[in-house]
Amino acid sequence: MEEPRTENQEPRAKGPYSFRNLILWQKAQELALAVIKVLATLPRGDAAQIIARQLVASAGSIGANVAEGHGRFSLAAHRNHLSIAKGSACETDGWLYLLRRAGYLDPDIERGLHQDCQEIIRMLTAKILDLERRENRRGLATLRENSSPYEAADYLPDDQVLGSGF
């Protein structure tokens, strides 16, 4: 039988409590990896390479800010990092669109990556709104290691975590 838990506590997981278990972080990592693979096929011209650098930075920033926000102790700081991640997801989507319009990216590939960006944006929006509701309900609350603003459904099992070796 599972121990009773408060609204904000995670069930005891087999592995360590980590941002690496977050479904949102996993999706951000997969998007960044897909972007890196696509950019390896771009021509070596100045325009394509300038856009490529911007695109790698924005795509990588999504997961980095999810991870950093996860490590913050206040709901406001956490929400702020998720807001930055959302902005980076929108920026990534914009750069992908520009690459397609410039003829550097196949429309089908851009469409798939656009859908990935949109899914991440929706997930970030939902989590930001949830954190905002929690802030309004409790004031500017402080997070503790045993009190995550994520729900159990936000996490992947340890055997599905990138680089877990399981």
Angle between helices 107-138 and 23-39 (to 10 degrees): 150
Given a contact cutoff of 8 angstroms between Cβ atoms, the answer to whether 25 and 63 are in contact is yes
One-letter amino acid for residue 81 of the chain: H
**∠ CA 146-151-156, rounded to 5°:** 100
End-to-end C-alpha distance for the chain, whole angstroms:
26
More confident residue, 56 or 4: 56
Phi-psi region of 122 (alpha: psi -120 to 50; beta: other; left: phi over 0): alpha
Q: What percent of the chain has pLDDT over 90?
A: 60
Taking residues 13-28, report their average pLDDT.
82
pLDDT band at residue 149 using 50, 70 and 90 as cut-offs: low
Domain span at 97: 19-141
Q: Domain total for the chain?
A: 1
pLDDT band at residue 140 using 50, 70 and 90 as cut-offs: low
pLDDT band at residue 6 using 50, 70 and 90 as cut-offs: very low
124 domain-assigned: yes
1 domain-assigned: no
User: Residue 66's domain is classified under what CATH number?
Assistant: 1.20.1440.60
* Per-residue pLDDT at 135: 83
This prediction has a pTM of: 0.77
75 domain-assigned: yes
Q: Is 88 exposed, middle or buried (0-12, 13-18, 19+ CB in 10 A)?
A: buried
Nearest Cα neighbor of 102 from 45, 31, 57 is 45
Contacts of 84 (CB under 8 A, 6+ apart): 61, 65
The residue with tokens 């897909």 is 34
151 domain-assigned: no
pLDDT band at residue 18 using 50, 70 and 90 as cut-offs: confident
Taking residues 131-137, report their average pLDDT.
86
148 domain-assigned: no
Q: What percent of the chain has pLDDT over 70?
A: 72
7 domain-assigned: no
3 domain-assigned: no
158 domain-assigned: no
* Per-residue pLDDT at 155: 65
